[in-house]
Amino acid sequence: MSDFDYDLFVIGGGSGGVRAARVAAGEYGAKVGLAEESRYGGTCVIRGCVPKKLMVFASTYRDSFQDARDYGWEVNDGPFDWHNFAGKMRAELDRLEGIYRNLLDNSGVEKFDARATLKDAHTVKLSTGEEKTAKHILIATGGRPVRPEMENAELGLVSDDIFDLEALPRSMLIVGGGYIACEFACILHGLGVDVSMYFRGGQILNGFDDEARGLVAEQMRTRGIDMHSGASILEMETREGGTWVKSTMGKEKIFDKVFFATGRAPNSNDMGLEDIGVALGRNGAIEVNEYSQTGVPSIYAIGDVTDRLNLTPVAIREGMAFVKTVFGGEPTPVDHDLVASAVFTQPEMGTVGLSEEDAAAQEAIEVYATSFKPMQTAFAGRDDRVMMKLVVSKETRVVLGCHIVAPQAGEMIQMAGIAIKMGATKEQFDQTCAVHPTMSEELVTMRNPVRDT
């Protein structure tokens, strides 16, 4: 009989923690406990990817109504009913949370709706007053949005708050230029909100391919989003009509709402981690090795709390690698190389591999790129442009990066990601016959580089 209450105790009921718990219990027969202080499903299901994507879908219909008229349909724009949509969205999140709970129950995982902290290398303390021991402890507590350190910052919303709005504001200032800021700028603009953006850098989407993010910014401005680079808030306070803001540009304006999309932090605070020898790095991230193991051998961590590659599918894969390593006898390092991702702006951006700038910094490259008006929206008289881009090693001919700015870029980059993960060369792309007429056929028909380094 084990000296511990559990073989594994998981702290956090998000996508990564739930996957690790149910696979360890269901496939490897481990006795598993799991504690979640909030809602099961974590950021992705409850406060992130899922409700955000539903809002993306909702926000695109305004363009669709106009396109339908341009294609000969008699369609009248109706006012967007936030109350109706939000009720359905929240019901869907409740349904998904129920699925997560059932997955754990069906795998034999014992759930605790409580906050968990660590007493020592094998003991978890619950907010219910209970203590549980485990041979292995997995921390999967995710991350949270943070407000900037300034007076009255609490007047601003963060991403968690958007899904709980009782009504849509008439105007909103979004502070930040990362993917969360850009996605919600496009969403809210599409739903009829007058959107302004302040971001400190010279361009949005820092870290992404320059040419790709430049096109996204151009399209966002064309759609009517008021974007200000090199700008941030100096002061803010509640005034009649909303929130008064004074910017570093010297402008003063009142917005219905201010939304801070200025970063996220790992949920590692007040857990007792450093007291028992678990090292925290920059921004509170739990430091782990390639097997997601901390400096305390019995304690592991996965997902956003480690601040490695903060994507839901990555957290799930980290959870699976942990289970194989600890319970399957197969030491499995986590693979963070060539992970495709999408930014759900309008148009979307899909990316995998190196940006042109990063690739050029490491070796001689060729760049194949094209930008054009896609057939569907060109026929409707819109000026939308899309971009397809391949970054290729001169020496090996391997495609080092692929960047797509287009409607449904997220769907396209998933497929391109397979080829690039396999190490496909430019010539193998060229050998692939085009599917015509599509936007993505351009990925296999670009014969001549537009530039090289």
Q: Which residues are catalytic?
A: 436
For residue 347, say if its preceding peptide bond is cis, omega within 30 degrees of 0: yes
Identify the bridge partners of residue 194 per DSSP, sorted by sequence position: 171
Name which of 215, 213, 224, 181 is nearest 199 in CA terms: 181
Contact 162, 169 (CB under 8 A): no
Q: How far apart are CA 168 and CA 179, in angstroms?
A: 21
Rounded to the nearest 10°, the torsion over CA 320, 325, 329, 330 is: 80
The CA-atom distances, in angstroms, between 126 and each of 222, 255, 271, 272 are 52, 42, 11, 12
Q: Torsions phi, psi of 389, nearest 5?
A: -145, 135
Contact 198, 247 (CB under 8 A): yes
Token reading at 116: 């968990």
Identify the bridge partners of residue 238 per DSSP, sorted by sequence position: 243
Contact 343, 220 (CB under 8 A): no
Burial class (CB in 10 A: 0-12, 13-18, 19+), 240: exposed
Q: How far apart are CA 118 and CA 212, in angstroms?
A: 44
